[in-house]
Structure 1
Amino acid sequence: MLGGLVGLVVLSVIAGIVVVAPLTPVLAISGHAASRAVSLFDGMPSYLEIDRLMLPTTIYARDPATGADVELTSFYDQNRVPVTFDQIAPIMYDAILASEDPRYYQHGGVDLLGTTRAFLTNAQGGTVQGGSSISQQYVKNVLVQRCERDAVETETQSRDEVLQACWLNATRASGVEGYQRKLQEIRYAVQIEQEYSKNDILLGYLNIANFGGTTYGIEAAARYYFSATAATLTLGQAATLAGVVQNPNTFRIDRKTGSIIAADGSAYNNAADGTVDDVTPGTLEGLDNLLADGTITAEQYLAAGDAYSATKGRQLYVLDRMHEDGQITDEQYVAAAIEPIVPKIQPALTGCAATSAPFFCQYVVNTVRSDPDYAAAFGGTSAERQQSLTREGLNIYTTLDWRLQTASQDAMRRNAPESVPGMAFGSASISIEAGTGRILAISQNNRFTEDADLAATDPVYTSLVYAGDAVHGVSGGFETGSTFKLFTLVDWLEKGRSLFEPVDGSLRVIPRLQDRCDGTWINRENHVVRNFSNVPGYTGTPMQFTAQSLNSGFLGMAERLDLCDIEEVATRMGVTRGSGAPVDIDGAAAIIGTNEIAPVAMAGAFATVANNGAYCIPRAIERVVNADGDELPVPGDRCSQAISPEVAAATAFALQGVMVPGGTGSAGNPNDGTPMLGKTGTHEQIQTWLVESSTRVTTAVWAGNAIGKGDVFRAWHNGRALSTIRLPIAREIQGVANQLYPGGPFPPPPAELVGRGPGPS
């Protein structure tokens, strides 16, 4: 107690100096206590830099009909919408000042009476709280936000625990620490009063203050609690929000079951049930009328059905202060006092689950978090990336085409089940613009969630984006089956061989395959790779083998090539395994698609063929603008010539045979007059694919086992085997793509690549 009193004396002297000195600069200050006080005060940091507010990052998609960018969702640690001074109703300023700092425009940053009262509480063993001016509260909020902005979890503390420590340190420190905190708060308050106008500080406070949970700032609070704006708040609403800031989570009105938990575990400060039976049994009048005519007391009114009783009590305190200060009339006071608090909760859009394109959204989020090509915009470390996503107020404009996205999701819902008993079934589609790499749509059969426990127990839910790879989807890709034959076909043509050259495609042992990178592959088990449905092999042409997806035919082609060259073709066309590792053709089976590759990579490879051999890196982000309105550096169109236009034309010519009657992908052709190329793929009974493309848009569809080895040929949905749903999904999506992005004819192949070659060798 003695130490506390000594501290009180020192701080009282300082508080007096701080408050009086600006008003009487010629005042002579003397005495040992005063000198020590000034020395202590001067030894503290004197300048507080006002940091940028923590702001939500917002993701947008363009509305093709209007050209306007429409909010898709936002991500935030603090939901905040900064406003200017004239965008806040004057009644809100009156309410906050009446309840928090009625002498705000008269003092120099410190309310001496309130501050002294707080010191006395501390000296008596309490905690330092209350008694702070608006300027001091603003300082406190700036310091809390700075701590929260830099908060990262440690081995011993979760991030939530670190955030809680930030708040406690800035608001509830007791004893000597409490004195020091309060004194530093005073010093900073004096400094900002000298640097900023009263209106600027008041506005800064209302923009930074917490209003419960993750709702920060008066505009976000008005929107969330009352579906209003700060400019349109009524007296009752303003008084409610002014009361909330005193203890934001105690006085919340978004928890119908109560925001305060009593010692016995019961909750109160909850939504009223609308009955008056506990007050006046049998009456039909409402609570408001009963209070107005004096039938019940204010205490009874607050107790009836609860009616957010604690918050109502705090609101009445604010209204009383406003009435005493002459800011509202008797009539306004009575009307607001008897009016019940009726929240109209309007949750802010946040997270990908809140969007109608959740898996595209998550692809964007994963790009922000992990794609190394975007380090210049979002940061080089995971902590910086997370901060960019939730605190920096970035505006991220995406490549999403709502028209195609809607069609893609509709096709997925019509044809793919959300789950299949006994299987971890999944299906995904992705459509990209061939000439730019812009991702136009992503759909998936699952429901999106970031709740790991829910995803672990219910196979309907996931946060994995199956269309993406490990970086963009946290997904490892899937065995591609015969879609991988594309790279053998391209290598065949690059070696100057013809689409109509005879090749021995009979079912036989392939004894060895050349591989200048890893050494010749030897078929030591004399294994014979069979064809789908036990189709017999034959001597034919690559044109025939491609249309009919003949495994033995492509192995005959590979026998004349080098596996290392085929791997190199895949790499040039943008393909890696889903993990990011290079493709590995380690034998005959890999020629027909055992590598696990993401749909986005396969779509990019087929788009290369459609784009005259130029590969464009797929991307979901168009541009990024920071909170100051400056554009940040992000990769745009990144296209390079991966294969020659001549080889691309010949490859397209062969792949068109897949999409016409007699080809394995013909049932996936929209048949709308648009020339189409494509390739089907099946890996055992586990995975199925169709990748198809016009000259403008490429769509890849995968349907199979997200994990495990369930038989998609023996499972059915709506009368169709799961092995066939890739066809209508791709057909429906590509049909809309062809309407929105009309494609033209593919270039004719050069004669030397379609002539009859030398025959088997």
Structure 2
Amino acid sequence: MSRRDGNRTLGGVAAGLLGMIGLSVIAGVLVTAMVTPVLAVVGQAANSSIGVFEALPADLKPDQLSQTSYVYGRNTDGSPVLLAAFYDQNRQNVAWNQISQYVKDALISTEDPRFYTHGGIDIQSSLRAAAGNIISGGVTSGASTISQQYVKNILVQRAEAITDPAGQAAAYAEATKTTLDRKLKEMKLAIGLEKSYSKDDILLGYLNIALFGGRVYGIQAAAQYYFGVNADAVTLEQAASLVAMVNAPDALRIDVAANIPQNLDRRNTVVLASMLKDHTITQAQYQQAIAVPVTPNITQPSTGCQTAVNAAGFFCDYVTKIIEQDPTFGADAASRAHALATGGYKIYTTLNMQLQQQADAVTKNYIPYSTANLDLGSSIVTVEPGTGRVVAMAQNKNYSQDPAAGPDATAVNYSTDQAYGGSTGFSVGSTYKLFDLIAWLQAGHTLGDIVNGANNLTFDLSTFKNTCGGGQMGTYKAGNDAGEAGSRISVLNQFELSVNAAFISMAQQLDQCAIRDVASSLGVHRADGQPLETNVFAALGGNTIAPLTMAAAYAGVIANGMFCTPVAIDSITDANGQPVSVPQSTCGQAIDPKIAAAAVYAMQGVITSGTAIPANPHDATAHVGKTGTSQNEESVWLVGGSTKLVTASWTGNVTGHVSIRSTPIIGPGSGKVTGGLSRLYMWRDFYRDTADAFGGATSVPLPEHRYLAAAGAGSASGRSGTSTPKPTPAPTPPVPLPTPTVTP
């Protein structure tokens, strides 16, 4: 049996007219009787109350309610995947047809049986309450209609929206005090509400605003939390149990086992009994319902980034940091955080769940959460060339903001800058040589030029040009990996083998600031916010940079020199379904496309015949990249990918100074491998097993001849610019930065 719709009956119209014409007079007398029973029959007291009543405001517009915000990743087919929810109040507004009729009938029968026939104040109930107050000698009953309760809830919500604690407390006290003036105000506003809104709108507003215990607000969140169903699917018994809670939300909430008997009692003897009396259920339905026990199915909401699936908590945290720093969402960090927790946003991110799942799997396959002998960290982060979209971000830890979570968890995002929840960055080693190489080509040199990369070459630091950072004094002895000679071979071969002495020789012919400018044009910056260093050692990767920054920079080179700033959010809608402005990627031509093509060609040799041979997936997709090992082998890198996806793979010390390159690491599924190999195998498996299915060019074209061969020598058809045989490379070269020898 269903209650009639919201169109008013003749009695309702009459009641509404009474409210508009003369109810204020009756209300004044009623309130006087309810609050000051001794003076109830004194005309002067009644007249005074009427005067106060008439002077009160009559209009109240419901505010935008605090609602839960949701962060989503996407499957490859575009379908959204929930990562996390953020809320001050767990609430999801729903429409009229998204609420079970059982709920509507239960609420009206229990709280306000004449809801559809009165004009905002139930005179009959008020008179009965007034009589009770006269007998008791005080204000023990308010006879509040649903409209009056809705008014009170609106005022309470306004109080709770105040961010100043003192102001919030004062406003809350004002909205809930049991005094004559508050009751008068509530009644007057209820009458005004009835003039402006339909009965169904008022009932819907109440069901969306009401508290159901704890931080659960509104019928939809309550149905999901307590019973694991949507509000339109609750049974009669569940509806009655939920409506029972509005009378005393914290005392009757059923996620506390001790409250269940009291909830059951009110459900059966008050709510279901009222529905039977009101003829909205039959005797048979009543008998069947009261026999059903209260059986909660508590379904915890996805609260905060620690609940994100596929270990996407770090990416989720990155998204929240973006919102907290973008003025679109508020004037300061506090207001932006408040907007996230109350705005009802649906935030659709760039994260691809298939790539994320694979990134998490390969990271944790090769790298354990922790080890006994070092504070170990590892990450994989992937961006799209040409868009800057961040599509995967994983690391060898669980995301948690709990300081007591132990060594398996952290809130520090190894992939991002310190300002976005990350670390101060990690020395990038020889991955920085890509920027040296581009500066070399920009200065008019070629891949075929012959440079001296002999081991232990000694350089006079005063001969290095540094127009933006000042000169250096003393000497520097450049050591190569494992005594690798480097000899006098082409720049192309020196890059493939990552010969340190060769790149110091090249830097000696350049302005160090030109190398910095190349890196900066590709978005490279220190993770700690300090300026990029431009000393000689910076050419070998001494700056501390976040993996995401390196991935985006390499993506810019691979995208024909078009650099796009990283973005993590595709779109946002607000609680009303309207679009919200989001940070956009800024793309620009950072490097001449012809020079970028020459650099990409050099990077291919690193994978096929250079220092990253173990990382080669050996499939139909062409791969390019560059390895790097920092001073004392504390961090190891491989950055690169395909024309479709570019990835930074990093393993290193989070704190401490243990050599990663040669240290055996026992990953959960990998057996024992050295740390130096781990970053290569992670990268290989990521592309071979998942990323290459997303596409990418099948070959790397030759650059223009002028970038390949030295003047008067060399050939554009081969990878080597010299006839000198290429030595067999070590799998993972370090970039040692020894302390320079200072001459007297």
Q: Residue in 2 aligned with 1:362?
A: 317
Secondary structure, aligned partner of 1:660: helix
Equivalent residue letter for 1:184? K
Equivalent residue letter for 2:518? V
The answer (yes or no) to whether the contact 1:502–1:757 under 8 Å persists in 2 is no
Q: Residue in 2 aligned with 1:6?
A: none
Equivalent residue letter for 2:264? K
Matches of 1:651 and 1:150, distance apart in 2? 56
Matches of 2:224 and 2:683, distance apart in 1? 41
Matches of 2:614 and 2:60, distance apart in 1? 68
CA pair 196-710 structure 1, distance change in 2 beyond 3 A: same
Q: Residue in 2 aligned with 1:315?
A: 267
Q: Residue in 1 aligned with 2:11?
A: none
Q: Residue in 2 aligned with 1:296?
A: none
Q: Residue in 2 aligned with 1:64?
A: 76
Q: Residue in 2 aligned with 1:170?
A: 175
Does 330-339 or 27-36 show the bigger shift?
A: 27-36
The answer (yes or no) to whether the contact 2:428–2:635 under 8 Å persists in 1 is yes
The answer (yes or no) to whether the contact 1:80–1:220 under 8 Å persists in 2 is yes
The answer (yes or no) to whether the contact 1:395–1:624 under 8 Å persists in 2 is yes
Matches of 2:664 and 2:141, distance apart in 1? 65
Specify every segment of 5 or more residues in structure 1 that has no aligned partner in the other structure, as ranges: 1-16, 259-267, 270-307
The answer (yes or no) to whether the contact 2:305–2:317 under 8 Å persists in 1 is yes
Q: Kindly state the Cα deviation for residue 401 of structure 1 after the two structures are TM-superposed.
A: 1.9
The answer (yes or no) to whether the contact 1:122–1:128 under 8 Å persists in 2 is no
Q: Kindly state the Cα deviation for residue 724 of structure 1 after the two structures are TM-superposed.
A: 2.0
Matches of 1:660 and 1:149, distance apart in 2? 60
Please show how residues 209-220 of structure 1 align to structure 2 within 5 Å: 209-220=210-221
Matches of 1:225 and 1:122, distance apart in 2? 40
2:330 aligned with 1:379: yes
Secondary structure, aligned partner of 2:459: coil
TM-score of the aligned structures, taking structure 1 as reference length: 0.82
The answer (yes or no) to whether the contact 1:504–1:553 under 8 Å persists in 2 is yes
CA pair 164-33 structure 1, distance change in 2 beyond 3 A: closer
Matches of 1:641 and 1:427, distance apart in 2? 31
Q: Residue in 1 aligned with 2:222?
A: 221
Equivalent residue letter for 2:266? R
Q: Residue in 1 aligned with 2:443?
A: 495
Q: Residue in 2 aligned with 1:394?
A: 345
Q: Kindly state the Cα deviation for residue 583 of structure 1 after the two structures are TM-superposed.
A: 1.4
Matches of 1:583 and 1:126, distance apart in 2? 74
Offset from partner CA, 1:392-422 (integer Å, 9 cap, x none): 1222222222222222121112111111124
Secondary structure, aligned partner of 1:250: helix
The answer (yes or no) to whether the contact 2:547–2:648 under 8 Å persists in 1 is yes
The answer (yes or no) to whether the contact 1:537–1:550 under 8 Å persists in 2 is yes
Offset from partner CA, 1:625-683 (integer Å, 9 cap, x none): 2233332222444311001011101111211121113x111111211132221111111
The answer (yes or no) to whether the contact 2:453–2:485 under 8 Å persists in 1 is no
The counterpart of 1:98, out of the listed 109, 116, 122, is 109
Q: Kindly state the Cα deviation for residue 359 of structure 1 after the two structures are TM-superposed.
A: 2.2
Q: Kindly state the Cα deviation for residue 439 of structure 1 after the two structures are TM-superposed.
A: 1.3
2:149 aligned with 1:143: no
CA pair 27-637 structure 1, distance change in 2 beyond 3 A: closer
Offset from partner CA, 1:461-488 (integer Å, 9 cap, x none): 1122211112433332211111111111
The counterpart of 2:564, out of the listed 616, 619, 625, is 616
Equivalent residue letter for 1:454? A
Matches of 1:449 and 1:391, distance apart in 2? 22
Q: Residue in 2 aligned with 1:583?
A: 532
Matches of 2:530 and 2:147, distance apart in 1? 56
2:53 aligned with 1:44: no
Equivalent residue letter for 1:253? I
Matches of 2:587 and 2:414, distance apart in 1? 24
2:118 aligned with 1:107: yes
Equivalent residue letter for 1:145? Q
The counterpart of 1:83, out of the listed 94, 119, 126, is 94
Q: Residue in 2 aligned with 1:753?
A: 707
TM-score of the aligned structures, taking structure 2 as reference length: 0.84
Secondary structure, aligned partner of 2:380: strand
Q: Residue in 1 aligned with 2:607?
A: 659
Q: Residue in 2 aligned with 1:235?
A: 236
Matches of 1:599 and 1:314, distance apart in 2? 58
Does 67-76 or 674-683 show the bigger shift?
A: 67-76
Secondary structure, aligned partner of 1:400: strand
Does 430-439 or 81-90 show the bigger shift?
A: 81-90
CA pair 478-499 structure 1, distance change in 2 beyond 3 A: same
CA pair 27-55 structure 1, distance change in 2 beyond 3 A: closer
CA pair 417-230 structure 1, distance change in 2 beyond 3 A: same
2:400 aligned with 1:449: yes
Matches of 1:340 and 1:27, distance apart in 2? 47
CA pair 387-228 structure 1, distance change in 2 beyond 3 A: same
Specify every segment of 5 or more residues in structure 2 that has no aligned partner in the other structure, as ranges: 1-14, 30-42, 714-744
The answer (yes or no) to whether the contact 1:235–1:336 under 8 Å persists in 2 is yes
Number of aligned residue pairs: give it: 671
Q: Residue in 2 aligned with 1:727?
A: 680
Offset from partner CA, 1:211-267 (integer Å, 9 cap, x none): 122222112212221222322322211111111111112111123xx4xxxxxxxxx
2:333 aligned with 1:332: no
CA pair 711-641 structure 1, distance change in 2 beyond 3 A: same
Matches of 1:632 and 1:692, distance apart in 2? 33
Q: Kindly state the Cα deviation for residue 120 of structure 1 after the two structures are TM-superposed.
A: 8.1
The counterpart of 2:305, out of the listed 349, 352, 355, is 352
Equivalent residue letter for 2:68? P
The answer (yes or no) to whether the contact 1:359–1:443 under 8 Å persists in 2 is yes
The answer (yes or no) to whether the contact 1:529–1:588 under 8 Å persists in 2 is no
Matches of 1:127 and 1:607, distance apart in 2? 72
Matches of 2:411 and 2:96, distance apart in 1? 41
The answer (yes or no) to whether the contact 1:100–1:133 under 8 Å persists in 2 is yes
Matches of 2:363 and 2:138, distance apart in 1? 62
Q: Kindly state the Cα deviation for residue 328 of structure 1 after the two structures are TM-superposed.
A: 3.0
Equivalent residue letter for 1:395? K
The counterpart of 2:453, out of the listed 502, 505, 509, is 505
2:468 aligned with 1:517: yes
